[in-house]
Structure 1
Amino acid sequence: MTKERLISLDVFRGFTIMLMTIVNNPGSWVHIYPPLEHAEWNGCTPTDLVFPFFIFIMGTAIPFSMPNKQFDFAVFNKIVVRSLRIFCLGLFLNYFGKIAFLGLEGIPLLIIRLIITGIVGMALLGSFNQKIKTYLAFAILATLLFLAYSKIENYQDVRIPGVLQRIGIVYFFASILFLKTTLKTQIGIATSLLLFYWFLMACIPVPGFGEANFEKDTNLAAWLDNLVLNGHLWSSSKTWDPEGILSTIPAIATGIIGIVIGQLLNLETAKIEITKKLSIIGISLLVLGLIWNLVFPINKSLWTSSYVLYTAGLAILILTLLHYLIEIANYKKWTNIFLIWGVNPMIVFFLSGILPEVWSMIEIQNPEVISGKINTRDYFYDFYISPQFSDPLNASLAFALLYVVFWTFILWLLYKNKLIFKV
């Protein structure tokens, strides 16, 4: 397994998805340590690094998965289908909590949702020949989009954008650019995308609002999201989406930076020399991001150009450190726990978003309320975790860490049996 993979990249991926799991599963959303929350708007916390790190890592892995740079219809078809499968997995996650069937509620409805999830999961993660993969991907996408715009009450406000959706889109463009352009052209395209996005956001007046701005609800990206995806946006905002249309442009630049770094790691050059080059690039991008932040604030929700450079610089520096420790110094004993997370990210992405909803749908008797019910997730947290801690912040974090332990056991079993789920 590891001979065909860059171990340091898998470790980086594993660390990132582990951090994502902690961030997404606190015991209480009211009690969260500040570093484990997103920045309110401008700025960047450790939590705001997770998503761009994923896209950077995905881009970096592309040169390793396509070393021959062969491009024909078969390769193009594989890229399209993989992008669609990733997109559909993310889109289905937005559907899970809305699935209804013949007025069923409670456990019967949960069983129906799990059956449908199993069918969709097998269709998108299963090993089929390329022709069947293609048919399944297009059929699932068409079905989900049809339901979203069918005016069926349950699905009329289902969210279309999302994390996996953006990853699928970026993967498509980054893969094509890697196969069809040179390293110099890729750098030029990434630079152009960042400058173009800055120009759009900073110079184009916003219809109905006036001058260009970077504020919530009134910026150009929010206007476009609300125009094209009205009714199908992030439920917490309803008027814009953190994974919206316009902000996907600079996200593609994040993926391109990843493929540039992947190609540098593949150079037939002494590893220590590659490490020095990567360090210089990482520091340079980090500094440029901080400078650009003065006029185009670092902002995850807008995925600003300064945010791209800042987060890419940090990602490169972290990967460089890992590359030195693992590939050069050969210090690998500590890597296993991150490896088992890093080689199976898609199964965690998909199921870790569904399991909390499953637990929330299963209700039991509430010991503190006569004839009252409480879902199993809240019961476990309120009666077994929270009482063990005097500080609610520690209790909330403990719940998240226990969830990580749970997934570590699952992923260890998969790793031990050489089971890797890919799209």
Structure 2
Amino acid sequence: MSKDRLISLDVFRGLTILFMTIVNNPGSWSTVYPPLLHSEWHGCTPTDLVFPFFIFIMGVAISFAMPTKSYDNTTFNKIVTRSLRMICLGIFFNFFGKIQLFGLEGIPLVIGRLLITAIVGYALMGNFNAKLKTYLAVSIFIIYLILAYSGIKSYEIVRLPGVLQRIGIVYFIASLLYLKTNQRTQLLVAVGILFGYWALLTLVPAPGFEITNLEKGTNLAAWVDSVLLKGHMWEVTKTWDPEGILSTIPAIAEGIIGVLIGQLLNNAKLIRSQKATQMLIAGIILIVLGQIWNIIFPINKALWTSSYVLYTTGLATLTLSVLYYCIDIADYKKGTKLFLIWGVNPMIVFFLSEIIPQAMVMISFPNPKIATGQINLLDYLYVAGVQPFFSNPMNASLVFALLYVSIWSVMLAYFYKKKMYFKV
């Protein structure tokens, strides 16, 4: 691991992805503690902080990855390729469960899907030369689009947006802004995005509605998704997508604020204590502004409202300032190793922690407790291996998630010891 890495940022990233893994892998979705669920609509739970924290952290990391701000065709190609690789990894999550192979079913089909996963994962995370990386990313992206719009039944409703897709888009735009503009311009762009998005959602009614609204499925962002992403949205709703087109715009502002904080941390004119103090003050101001804006433009993750951007970037900045002071200034690193090993290898967790549970759900066998029923492997491990030991089903569900995290921690510790880092 490079000596010039900001350890507090790696720890922050590790904390975030570890929490994400807990949130995404309960024993049962019907018995989950409320803080580990997204808010129903307006509002913000701890779970609603995971995604914006990732985008903020990515923004901060941009200035560390490109401290000299040199821009040329090579740099541009690297940014495009990295963005495409993230987008392609994200889209693959949605294709995985729909892959069909020569009429295979059951375990043989799962094995085939996992083999394709290994090929795609290697193509998008392998350490090739720049030209081959670009070729593979572009080719895979084109294949996705061809399959999604080919009319093939298996893929005609595959979802195209997603978490990594949004991160890839934000990374591309935030990186170019960082390299091509100064901090004043970056700040103005972020402010313009937040006010512009607020104006769109509160002043422009969705076609078919006389007045604007911020309700599920009837707001302007939902209408844009229903027109441009028809048939390729989140399956739970099918009328709008939580990582849709219009709501990606304010997420760009989230990334830009992260870029600005990263440049503060890279400012050689400031001593470290000044950087920590300025981050602390900035975080508090952003939180307050977000809460004030919340009065007329509610904090909402699904819509990624401007108040949500300010509030979550404020919390992220505040958290980073505390970690920066404790780890990089006070040199207090006790207890951070676990989060560090998660933080330096986020992409492999992102990728496989989505694939593995899907694969386990696809493996079914007769339920030993119900003579005529079937149970999948993931549910069986929970029902037979964890649930019987707890009277409180919420505790059982949480422990299952913690066990899953423990397994990942062992693997990541091995990767860290062997200096194996999986990057896009």
Q: Where on the TM-score scale, by shorter chain, does this alignment land: which range?
A: over 0.9
Matched with 1:377 is: 378
Q: Secondary structure of 2:3's partner? A: helix
Matched with 1:402 is: 403
Matched, 1:117 2:117: yes
Matched with 2:18 is: 18
> Which amino acid in the other structure matches residue 17 of structure 1?
I
Separation in 2 of the partners of 1:101 and 1:176? 40
> Which amino acid in the other structure matches residue 3 of structure 2?
K
Q: Cα distance, 1:209 vs. partner?
A: 2.0
> Which amino acid in the other structure matches residue 305 of structure 1?
S
Q: Cα distance, 1:374 vs. partner?
A: 2.1
Matched, 1:7 2:16: no
Q: Secondary structure of 1:3's partner? A: coil
Matched with 1:176 is: 176
Q: Cα distance, 1:372 vs. partner?
A: 4.3
What is the aligned-residue RMSD (CA, Å)?
A: 0.8
Separation in 1 of the partners of 2:372 and 2:239? 40
Q: Cα distance, 1:385 vs. partner?
A: 0.4
Matched with 1:305 is: 306
Q: Cα distance, 1:334 vs. partner?
A: 1.3
Q: Secondary structure of 1:330's partner? A: coil
Separation in 1 of the partners of 2:279 and 2:369? 57
Matched with 1:132 is: 132
Matched with 1:323 is: 324
**How is 1:282-301 mapped onto 2 (pairs within 5 angstroms)?**
282-301=283-302
**How is 1:58-73 mapped onto 2 (pairs within 5 angstroms)?**
58-73=58-73
Aligned-pair identity in percent equals 63
Q: Cα distance, 1:101 vs. partner?
A: 1.4
Matched with 2:206 is: 206
Q: Secondary structure of 1:303's partner? A: coil
**How is 1:198-347 mapped onto 2 (pairs within 5 angstroms)?**
198-268=198-268, 269-347=270-348
> Which amino acid in the other structure matches residue 398 of structure 1?
V
Separation in 1 of the partners of 2:370 and 2:47? 36
Q: Secondary structure of 1:31's partner? A: coil
Separation in 2 of the partners of 1:111 and 1:49? 35
Q: Cα distance, 1:4 vs. partner?
A: 2.3
TM-score (norm 2): 0.99
Matched, 1:414 2:412: no
Stretches of structure 1 lacking an aligned partner (at least 5 in a row): none
Separation in 1 of the partners of 2:254 and 2:372? 53
Separation in 2 of the partners of 1:248 and 1:367? 46
> Which amino acid in the other structure matches residue 297 of structure 1?
P
Matched with 2:101 is: 101
Matched, 1:350 2:351: yes
Bigger Cα displacement from structure 2, 341-350 vs 353-362: 353-362
Separation in 1 of the partners of 2:90 and 2:245? 15
Q: Secondary structure of 2:386's partner? A: helix
Q: Cα distance, 1:366 vs. partner?
A: 2.3
- What do residues 152-179 of structure 1 show as CA deviations (whole Å, max 9, x unaligned)? 0010000010000000000000000000
TM-score (norm 1): 0.99
Q: Cα distance, 1:2 vs. partner?
A: 4.7
Separation in 2 of the partners of 1:387 and 1:184? 58
Separation in 1 of the partners of 2:210 and 2:419? 56
- What do residues 389-420 of structure 1 show as CA deviations (whole Å, max 9, x unaligned)? 00000000010000100100110110010000
Separation in 1 of the partners of 2:391 and 2:297? 42
Separation in 2 of the partners of 1:282 and 1:142? 41
- What do residues 9-34 of structure 1 show as CA deviations (whole Å, max 9, x unaligned)? 00000000000000000000000000
- What do residues 43-78 of structure 1 show as CA deviations (whole Å, max 9, x unaligned)? 000000000000000000000000110000010000
> Which amino acid in the other structure matches residue 22 of structure 2?
I
Matched with 1:392 is: 393
- What do residues 199-251 of structure 1 show as CA deviations (whole Å, max 9, x unaligned)? 10010121012211111111000000000000100001100001000011100
Matched with 1:51 is: 51
Matched with 1:192 is: 192
Q: Cα distance, 1:102 vs. partner?
A: 2.0
Separation in 1 of the partners of 2:215 and 2:325? 41
Q: Cα distance, 1:266 vs. partner?
A: 0.7
Matched with 2:361 is: 360
Q: Secondary structure of 1:374's partner? A: strand
Q: Secondary structure of 1:321's partner? A: helix
Separation in 1 of the partners of 2:300 and 2:374? 41
Q: Secondary structure of 1:44's partner? A: coil
Separation in 2 of the partners of 1:366 and 1:203? 54
> Which amino acid in the other structure matches residue 314 of structure 1?
L
Matched with 1:149 is: 149
Q: Secondary structure of 1:4's partner? A: coil
Q: Cα distance, 1:301 vs. partner?
A: 0.1
Q: Cα distance, 1:267 vs. partner?
A: 1.0
Separation in 2 of the partners of 1:216 and 1:366? 38
Separation in 2 of the partners of 1:204 and 1:357? 39
Bigger Cα displacement from structure 2, 255-264 vs 329-338: 329-338
Separation in 1 of the partners of 2:207 and 2:221? 11
Q: Cα distance, 1:371 vs. partner?
A: 5.8
Q: Cα distance, 1:373 vs. partner?
A: 3.4
Matched, 1:35 2:35: yes
Q: Cα distance, 1:335 vs. partner?
A: 1.0
Q: Secondary structure of 1:210's partner? A: coil
